[in-house]
Amino acid sequence: MAIAGGPARRRRLLLLPPLLFAAVLLLSAASPARAFYLPGVAPRDFQKDDELQVKVNKLSSTKTQLPYDYYFLDYCKPEAIKNSAENLGEVLRGDRIENSVYNFKMRRDETCKVVCRSKLSPEAAKNFKEKIDDEYRVNMILDNLPVVVPRQTREGSQTPSFEHGYRVGYKLKDDKYYINNHLSFKVLYHEDPNSPDARIVGFHVIPSSIKHEYSAWDDKNPTVQTCNSNNKITPGSHTPQDVVPEAYVVFSYDVTFEASEIIWASRWDVYLLSSDSQIHWFSIINSLMIVLFLSGMVAMIMMRTLYKDIANYNQLDNQDEAQEETGWKLVHGDVFRPPVHSGLLCVYVGTGVQFFGMTLVTMMFALLGFLSPANRGGLMTAMVLLWVFMGVLAGYTSSRLYKMFKGTEWKKITLKTAFMFPGIIFALFFFLNALIWGEKSSGAVPFGTMFALFLLWFGISVPLVFVGSFLGFKQPAIEDPVKTNKIPRQIPEQAWYLQPAFSILAGGILPFGAVFIELFFILTSIWLNQFYYIFGFLFIVFIILIVTCAEITIVLCYFQLCSEDYHWWWRAYLTAGSSALYLFAYAIFYFFNKLEITKFVSGILYFGYMLIISYAFFVLTGTIGFYACFWFVRKIYASVKID
């Protein structure tokens, strides 16, 4: 079908997809909360007196990092506790979405609604005290919106701020513990001017502790004397309810509905809006400066290599003079010699390609808004499934590289590709999960989910790795641009700054320096119970990381070849991959300076998960550096005449 308008119109139409993508990227970087709202959930309309069910999630603490089920504490329970549908990501994150006794009617205010009375057993009182000591917070959900507690606004600040979840209770200087047993809810709604429907756009709560008074208790019609329509409960307005064994605790709540100008598409702004956008832009500028510096060095090297060195090498009369000037051509007969442990290198490169594919596709979906925090557990689920399906890339890449090294046991390499990295990660994860299970935390992955992960691994990922490996090994072997000598050339003594250990460690500094500011926000979202949704910034930083890893590896590889050291295969991988060491070192710094973790088990969990993240970062960056150096070496040796 012909496109009307001629070639000019066709060119404009072809430009639309990249321009649209650029617009999405800039919008999501500058204003992530308002750019797109594609959370995977449809808006719900409510009429007056419609039932609103408050769901309870988990008890969470930044001091222990161990989530617990809401009903682990002796809170009021409905007649039947029902678990909402959970996806794989929710289970892995320790989320447990359950029904509660807090049920509202749309736009119907209620004052001092008593829900139940609970007698604290010694065990229940002990659990409450432990959770208050560890600063646990209760997380609730209404219409897919997490509950937030308004903070006191700073002087001169016009933007309201909120805390996620409310505290279980508090402890005063008299060493007495007090439980927040009264909740003052505020539900914000946005009215439709053309219909009686309204949509919920905010869910706030102010917790209070009150020792309710009553003359006689009636379970069917409970009433208390401490609050009524004329006597509103606020924090500190009444005698607080202390936590002691055998004490009766009455749980109650208020709910008010308030019309709001906030539209449904912007209701997550209070969770996602970042006040640190200037710091994010500083991070981008800092990373771009590093990239520009490296790009300048790479440009100088490429100009010298392609325009000076190659020109001299191709002049046969000046061949001896060219060899005296630089030494990278002298190792042409050894530069493509297979490295030591070449099979292991193929496995790690294949795994790195699998991880790169997963990261890139996940980030693209997140950038477009499909993996918004409103789609609870969606990000984790997408990462696991994409990792499984990207196994075909891992098998294809490792087998093609293995065939280039003239290997014949492709099935053995395929098995290593399918089991080595996932096996190490799964062993660490199983150990950490056993620790969580020992603490009776809801964060422990149940047996059924663990079995599902096994099925994904053995039933889908492993067969796809074999399919990719079979297809890759059937392809013709990658031809080297120059022939390899039978006898290896002796490597001259290297300067101290060209020693493998020094150059590898030095090479990892700049890739880490390009991402460490953004890394702070990522760690904060993981360990301090914050939402991360600045995927526009993250995608830009990811592109900068790719360029930085590629360029620093090319620079150091060129210096290595000029010093007549042709063992570049592993060196290229480890040079970029060493940035993972700095990431783990920064994780140690972050632990002692930003976190307040005191429990031994919680510390092991933190460093265990950060070790997994650092290992994955090593595989990703190492593969990027390897392929950059692989392209560079083939390019320069294919450009010269070899006798």
Q: Calculate mean pLDDT across residues 261-270.
A: 83
3-state secondary structure of 103: strand
CA 595 to chain centre: 18
Residue that finishes a domain, picked among 252, 272, 292: 272
The two beta strands, 177-179 and 98-105, are unpaired
Does residue 548 lie within any of the structural domains?
Answer: yes
Return the pLDDT at 577. Answer: 95
User: Is the separation of the CB atoms in 483 and 528 below 8 Å?
Assistant: no
CA distances from 393 to 461, 470, 597 (A): 11, 11, 40
One domain, residues 117 and 157: yes
One domain, residues 524 and 604: yes
Q: Calculate mean pLDDT across residues 83-97.
A: 76
**Residues 371-403 pLDDT 10s:** 777 777 788 888 999 999 999 999 999 999 999
One domain, residues 296 and 419: no
Does residue 481 lie within any of the structural domains?
Answer: no
Is pLDDT of 263 > 70?
A: yes
User: Is the separation of the CB atoms in 443 and 606 below 8 Å?
Assistant: no
3-state secondary structure of 67: coil
Burial 147-166 (b: 16+ CB within 10 A, else e): bbeeeeeeeeeeeeeeebbb
One domain, residues 297 and 172: no
Return the pLDDT at 401. Answer: 93
User: For residue 24, what pLDDT band results from cuts at 50, 70 and 90?
Assistant: very low
Cβ burial of 408 (10 Å; 0-12, 13-18, 19+) is exposed
Q: Which two tokens stand for residue 101?
A: 């006794």
CA distances from 630 to 302, 341, 520 (A): 15, 17, 32
Non-local CB neighbours of 289 within 8 Å, separated by 6+ positions: none
One domain, residues 285 and 267: no
Which is higher by pLDDT, 107 or 281?
107
Does residue 129 lie within any of the structural domains?
Answer: yes
Find the range with the poorest average confidence among 67-76, 276-285, 292-301. Answer: 276-285
**Residues 119-131 pLDDT 10s:** 899 999 999 999 9
3-state secondary structure of 405: coil
Return the pLDDT at 617. Answer: 96
The two beta strands, 162-164 and 148-150, are antiparallel
Q: Which two tokens stand for residue 63?
A: 């001091």
Q: Which domain holds residue 381?
A: 341-476
One domain, residues 291 and 434: no
One domain, residues 304 and 266: no
Q: Calculate mean pLDDT across residues 341-366.
A: 93
**Percent of the residues in the chain that have a pLDDT greater than 90, as a whole number:** 38
One domain, residues 296 and 245: no
Range from 78-87, 295-304, 534-543 that averages highest in pLDDT: 534-543
Does residue 25 lie within any of the structural domains?
Answer: no
Is pLDDT of 575 > 60?
A: yes
**Residues 405-446 pLDDT 10s:** 988 888 899 999 999 999 999 999 999 999 999 888 888 888
What is the DSSP-derived secondary structure letter of residue 477?
P
- How far is Cα 324 from Cα 326, in angstroms, rounded to an integer? 6
Does residue 22 lie within any of the structural domains?
Answer: no
Return the pLDDT at 563. Answer: 86
Largest Cα separation within the chain, whole Å, is 111
Return the pLDDT at 14. Answer: 38
Q: What residues are paired with 142 via a beta bridge? A: 54, 145
Return the pLDDT at 518. Answer: 82
One domain, residues 92 and 200: yes
One domain, residues 436 and 536: no
One domain, residues 258 and 297: no
User: For residue 232, what pLDDT band results from cuts at 50, 70 and 90?
Assistant: confident
Return the pLDDT at 573. Answer: 96
Q: Which two tokens stand for residue 258?
A: 């308030």
One domain, residues 526 and 443: no
Q: What is the mean pLDDT of the chain?
A: 83
Task: Name the domain count of the chain.
Answer: 3
Q: Calculate mean pLDDT across residues 271-276.
A: 59
Which is higher by pLDDT, 266 or 32?
266
Sheet holding 198-208, edge to edge: 110-119, 248-259, 182-191, 198-208, 148-150, 162-164
Does residue 336 lie within any of the structural domains?
Answer: no
User: For residue 138, what pLDDT band results from cuts at 50, 70 and 90?
Assistant: very high
Return the pLDDT at 13. Answer: 37
Does residue 322 lie within any of the structural domains?
Answer: no
Q: What residues are paired with 242 via a beta bridge? A: 178
Residue that finishes a domain, picked among 272, 295, 320: 272
Does residue 407 lie within any of the structural domains?
Answer: yes
Closest CA to 613 of 541, 522, 551, 537: 522
User: Euclidean distance between the first and final Cα of the chain, in Å?
Assistant: 54
Is pLDDT of 35 > 60?
A: no
